[in-house]
Structures are given as C-alpha cells and as structure tokens.
Amino acid sequence: MFGALGGPRLLLRRLREVMVEPISPQARLDKIVVHIAANMVAEVCSVYVLRADGRLELSATEGLNREAVHLTTMRTGEGLVGLIAETAEPLALSDAQRHPAFSYRPETGEEIYSSFLGVPILRGGNTLGVLVVQNRAHRTYSEEEVEALQTTAMLLAEMIASGEVQSVVVPGSYIALRRPLALSGTPIADGVGLGHVVLHEPRIVVKQLVAEDIKRETERLDTAIEAMRQSIDRLIDSRVMGPGEHREVLETFRMFAHDRGWLRRLREAVTSGLTAEAAVERVQNDARAKLQRRTEPYLRERLHDLDDLANRLLHQLTGQSYVTSHEDLPANAIVVARTMGPAALLEYDRTKLRGLVLEDGSAGSHVAIVARALGIAAIGGVSNIIDFVEPGDAIIVDATTGDVHVRPPHDVERAYAEKARMRARRQEQYRKFRDVPTVTRDGTRIDLGMNAGLLVDLQHVEETGASSIGLFRTEFQFMLAERFPRMREQEALYRAALEQISGKPITFRTLDIGSDKHLPYMTKIDEENPALGWRAIRIGLDRPGLLRMQLRGLLHAGAGHRLRIMFPMIATVEEFEQAKALVEREIAHLRRHGRALPHHLELGVMVEVPSLLWQLDEICPRVDFLSVGSNDLVQYLYAADRENKRISDRYDVLSAPILRALKFIVDKAQAARKPVTLCGEIGGRPLEAMALLAIGFRSLSMSAASIGPVKAMVLATDLARLEPFVAELIAESHGSSSLREKLRRFAEEHTIPV
C-alpha cells in the first residue's frame, strides 16, 4: 500500500525534481531512496549498481546501516539481489530469510526485515542494477507496488546510463554500462579510426514517464499501433513484393504486430500510469531481458523482430526520424549501425566521418567498397554492438585487425593514437616515391590506376601518382541525389572529372544500380536473389531512356577529350552490341545538331559475369578494352554471396580456380591485343596484387589508400622469379585450397612488402 504522499505518480514527479537538483550524484541517490521508502511505506529502500566486474555494489540506502554503502557487494547470482540481477525479473517475498537464495550480510543490519521486494534496473534489456524495498512485517506486496517500483527503476536507469553514477562506485571500478569493452569483427575497409559513437538509427529517449491522462495515453498507443500495422501491411501487400522466403519473414513480422500478449502488456503498462512511450520502453526492456538470456537461435531472431516493432511504435508516437540527423554530426564520428546500404553512408559528411561499425556486413559488400573509396575504417560482423554503446561514447575502430574498443582505457587510447600516427607516417613514406616510375626490379612497367566515384576523390590522383582513373563509379552521383540527376547535371560532373585529372585516362562505368545499390527516388524491386537480378546494364537496356540520357551526358562532356565508357554486368555479346548501338545513336544525334564529339572514343566491358569468359573470343574484336570486376566475378564463380558473412570468407581469391580464371581472361585479351585492367578490390591488396602480376596483369585499379602499399610491392618484385613460382603453384594445386601462405612465404623470402 502506498503512503499518504500520493502514490507512484507523485513519487515520480518528486524524483524528477531530485534528478535536476544541482547536487552530487551520491546526494541524489540518497534523496531518491528516501523518497521511495516514504512513498511506499517501506522501512528500507536500497539501490545496488552492477559493476563491470560482475559485482553488485550497495550504492545508497535508507533504513540499512549507512556504513555498509560501497562496502557491501555481491556477485551476480548471489543472494536475493544477485538472483534478480541474473534473471532480470522482479522478486516479491513476505519472508525473505526463508528463501534458499537469501544471503546474510551482518554489516547491513537487514536481519530484522522480513518482507522483500526487488526489481531489476534495466536499459535495453541489460541489467544495470537492482532496486529493493524491505519491511519488518510479513507483508505481501501488491502487483501495483511491483509495477510502481519497476517504473521507478526506469528513472534510475536513466541516471545510470547518463554516466553520472560512475563517480559514486568504489574508485577504480566501472559501472557495467560504462565499462570498457573489447569487441571483434571482420575488417571490411582498412584503417584506424578514433572518435565518438553516432548511432545510424538513434534511440528514442523517453523523457516523460508519468501519464497525465491515462485515457489519452491509451488512445495514443492504439492510434500508433494501428498506424504501425498499416505501414507493415502496405510494405507486404505492395505489388513489388513477389512470393518467396522474404515474404514469409515479413508475414511473421506482421503476426508479431498483432500478437495479443504483446499488446496486452503494452496496455497494462499504460493503465499502470505510464505514458505510451514509457509503456513501449518498459515492455521492450522486459522482453529483451528475458530473450537475451535464452540460447535458442529462433528466440534470438524474434528479439530483433520485437526490437524493430518497438522502434517503429516509438517513432510513430514521437514522430522522430528513423536515422540520425547528418547536420548534427560531430567531428571524429564513428557511425554504428545494424546494417547499412552504400547510399546511406554517402549521405554522411566524409570530412567528419572516421569509421563505421556494423553488426552485419562483409568485406565484399557495396557499403564496404564505398567505405574504402572514402578512406573510412570499417568493420562488419560485430555482434550486438548496438546494445553496448551509447551516443557520444569514445570508440576505436582498428580495421587492420577487426578490433573495436568501446570506452577504451587511457593506455589503449594512447596506443592507438600512436598507431594512427605511425600509419600517417607510413603514408607519408609512400608519398615520397609518388613520382618514382612503377616498374618491377626486372624492368616491367605496371600501371596503377585509382577507383573513384566523387569529384573530391580526384584530388588523390596527384597525391598518389596514380596513372589513371581505372574505374569511375557514376552511380554515386545518383545515390546522393534527392531526384534523378538531369542530363545537364550529369554532364557537368563528367566534364569536371575529365578536366580535373589533367589529361590522364578516366574510365566511366555506366550506371551500376540494383542489388543493394537502390536509388531512394526509384521503386525498390524486392527479388529472391538481387545480386543475380535486375541490375546494372540490364536496367539500362530495359530502360533505354535512362541509359541514353547518361550516354548523352558523357558524350557532351567528352567533347574534345579522350573518352572511355565501360558497361557493367555484360553477360552476352548481344548485350554489348545493344549498348553500343545506343552510343552510336547518340553520336548520330550529336552530329545532326553539329555538336563536338570526343576526339577519341573507346568502349569496353566489365568482365564479371562468368558466361562472358566463354565469349571472350567473340567479344574481344568488338571492344576497345576489358576491365575485370573481380568482386562479382569471384562471388559468381563460387556461387557465394559476398554480402553473406557466413560464406563470404569461405573461399579464398588466392586459390587455383580463381587464378586460373583470371589468367584465362588475361591470355585471351593479350591474344586479341586488347588492354585489360583489373579494378576489383583484390587489386588493392599487395599480396593479391603480387599474384595478379604473376599471372599476367600489367594494369590494376584500386582505392587511393591502396596505391602506396601496392607500389611498394611492385618496386620490390622480380617477375622473372615470381612468374614461374606462381605458375608451378597453380599447376600443382588440386581442388580449391588457398595458395595464400605459400605466396606469403615467397614474399618474405624475397623481401617483398605485402
């Protein structure tokens, strides 16, 4: 029974007042327990804070011996308080000392108290501490009292999450939420980034916990639930959704949105006096706490569904955006997300972005390619990182090893700051031989081009000494725009690119969208296998107006210049002929109107679809050059989705089957006397690049950051020794086992930096 002070609503109001008083954290906690004890007519109220070492520290009490504060601790699972922390569930007992988990602590003086009510202090399903009230008399706590204490615990969770309580615990200890964490994932874009966490999908911070009008809050909740259901229905029932497994997943998601148990708990939480937002947070906290402690994969997957539903509901209630505001991006930002497409990454201010951490994402994903193009350290596959970080947390991303340090200790931070300085010094060393010809030790010239997609990238051509732009990804302009770029806008970009690189060759790849690279202003087509679906040249040929507009922009911009145009995802000779016919049609149009033309026009194809390997004899006479897109070619040869982290690292590009396929392309191009460049990601890794030189490639294109390390490798390589060694390796290899370690040993023995 609540006291005369007015029940839980008045209690929460008073606690809110305490939260904003200009007093020390300890004084704040002391006042909070006094108010709770008085309001709930309890002789004891205590707050235990969970530390990083797994111990619960008595941090404030009203009724127990004050000298026990910061002295009494217990392990998670030990005693009644430890049991609550372990199970994340409330515990109400009329005779606490008879419970088998009861642990007697003489310094507290609690032996005179019989009844016990304790609730976990939860945030995001994680236990931050335990809140307890006790009475001398044997009494049964009502459900209303349990609810009230759980609601009060939500407010304490805010205080702990803010970091204020860190100054209260024993010196040298960390509270669990603020403890340093060392996590690991898979490097997807090389580099080291030091900065502060920015959540790509910001959490909704519920500031108003107590409902002023329960009826109104119930109506708000019901309205938001209906709006959320309708948005899910529209997504599933839209015509672009075909049949398949993805539809079944979304149908399961819709079923959760109609789950009676979930909806009942939400309404009960509002009836107890919470606002609609606080009710959603409270129910989701409880659900997360339970499901996180289960090991069944199915239930863990359901946790993601419930998280998504709760977030959708909170966004409906608050009207807040699903993604963070890019205008408020702090300097040295490290973006943390569950997953992200390449277009979303491009929307961030690259001058402030230092790193990217994803729960999902592989080295072959398009977002990884964009991160490498932007020079951003990125790591994928970091499980549950969203649950462990708060906006503004200090974080270090080491994308050379895959390590992520959250709230790092000062010594770790100093060590990484030095590592970042060493990387900068190494890049400076690479710049010193920028103007040194890229020639092997035995005199073979190698062309090292640069991959780009934005005008700002082109400044690196001069910095790195790149011989060309081997791949200009024109889709970046489309992905950044709010609407389809007009022909004049496209022309302006292409002209600026041609003029900025001072006559060096630049190869423009026509629009390569589809798969995970969709444009925000175009209807997204959901496909069973998007990597094998309607994308790149297939879209261009099916929507010739789109491709013709781009070709016209390129031809206008290329007037008086050497212009190289490359078509992606060509699977048949006929597709190239159709694309070439569109170019010829645009040239005829320009001639009719007396417009200037490029002084030299070259058309090429990207070899990335395996079917083209068996048409090289037919297509080589028709094209001016070939470019090998090793990223897609490798995934298609192994039928291993590079976006799928379970299998993306299952096969090694440095295995005989891949090297044989690549050598086959080189041999065919050389026989037809057609230049061939490899512009996939493997060309930018020194060891892989060394193998490519050995099988005949003399032109590679890569990210700007890769040119220095690859050039250092080239200058130290003697092809006369390397070529026969690799040829013998490939010939003797059986199956698809990796040749990586043998190649690495060769490099070490011959002092080749890889």
CATH number, residue 79: 3.30.450.40
In 499-589 the beta strands, taken as DSSP E runs, fall at 506-509, 562-567
Q: Which of 366, 518, 556, 561 is catalytic?
A: 366
CATH number, residue 721: 3.20.20.60
- 345/477 same-domain check: no
Is 323 inside any structural domain? no
- 114/236 same-domain check: no
- 474/558 same-domain check: yes
- The candidate with the shortest Cα–Cα distance to 374, out of 705, 1, 722, is 705
pLDDT in tens, 241-297: 444 444 555 566 677 777 788 888 898 888 877 889 988 988 888 887 777 666 665
366 is catalytic: yes
Is 207 inside any structural domain? no
- 687/732 same-domain check: yes
pLDDT in tens, 393-452: 999 999 988 999 999 988 898 888 888 888 788 877 888 888 899 999 999 999 999 999
Look over the chain and give the mean of its residue pLDDT values, rounded to a whole number.
Answer: 87
- 308/352 same-domain check: no
DSSP 346: H
Q: Please report where in the chains the tokens 């609550």 appear, as a residue.
A: 84
Instruction: Please give the average per-residue pLDDT across 5-22, as a whole number.
Output: 76
Reported confidence tier of residue 5, pLDDT bands at 50, 70, 90: very low
45 is catalytic: no
- 728-733 long-range contacts, Cβ below 8 Å, gap at least 24? 729/656, 730/656, 730/659, 730/660, 730/663, 730/695, 733/655, 733/656
- 551/698 same-domain check: yes
Q: Which domain holds residue 151?
A: 7-178
Is 649 inside any structural domain? yes
* pLDDT at 580 exceeding the cut of 70: yes
- 676/710 same-domain check: yes
CA distance 166 to 57: 12
Is 1 inside any structural domain? no
- 437/370 same-domain check: no
- 282/158 same-domain check: no
Give the end of a domain, one of 261, 290, 318: 318
Q: Please report where in the chains the tokens 């790193």 appear, as a residue.
A: 355
- 543/689 same-domain check: yes
- 404/441 same-domain check: no
Is 562 inside any structural domain? yes
Share of the chain above pLDDT 90, in %: 51
- 282/350 same-domain check: no
Q: Which of 35, 518, 561, 679 is catalytic?
A: 679
Q: Is the pTM of this model over 0.85?
A: no
pLDDT in tens, 650-705: 889 999 999 999 999 999 999 999 999 999 889 999 999 999 999 999 999 998 88
- Our count of domains for the chain comes to 4
- Helix, strand or coil for residue 222? helix
> Do residues 611 and 569 make contact, with C-beta atoms less than 8 angstroms apart?
no
